[in-house]
Amino acid sequence: DDITGAYTANYMSSRMTEECARARRYKTDLSFIVLDILGYVDYSEDEQREILTSLSQALKQLLRNIDLLFSGDEPGRYFILMPNTPLVGAKVVGGKIVQLVGNLGAGGENVALPVAMGVSAYSEDVNSPELLVSTALSDRGAQG
């Protein structure tokens, strides 16, 4: 993605497989965040660009250089893979992202931008890329 610098969904699949294998082998933490900008497709192209530019700036402040941002399969959906991050840490970062994105508004309006966020972490029960994604998606709730 030219605006956010997010990797593609295809790359996410292979990278998540690698990171899950690493977490299993070395017994390290691995967390995953799904972020949905609700109603994103209802905004004009200019508003969408403005939202993504602000999102990109917010993520640059909050994410580490080892965290990976991916474009989702739906417009306005993003995934964040966070190696060496426990679930509680991902929830803190996710909450800050929701707060920043929720305050962005669109089109110069002072209207909150509705955001939903879900978080999951690698564990004995959640031990594959598919389970990380499905668990995070089921954890989503409107937050902003």
Nearest to 29 by CA among 88, 84, 93: 84
Residue 82: C-alpha distances to residues 34, 68, 87, 107 (Å):
11, 7, 10, 31
Per-residue pLDDT at 104? 66
> What pLDDT was estimated at residue 100?
81
| pLDDT value for 112 | 67
- Global pTM reads 0.91
Q: What are the per-10-residue average pLDDT scores of the chain (144 residues)? A: 88 96 97 93 89 84 94 92 97 89 61 84 96 95 57
The pLDDT value recorded for residue 106 is 52
- pLDDT, residue 32, reads 98
| Look-up of token digits 């996710």 | 94
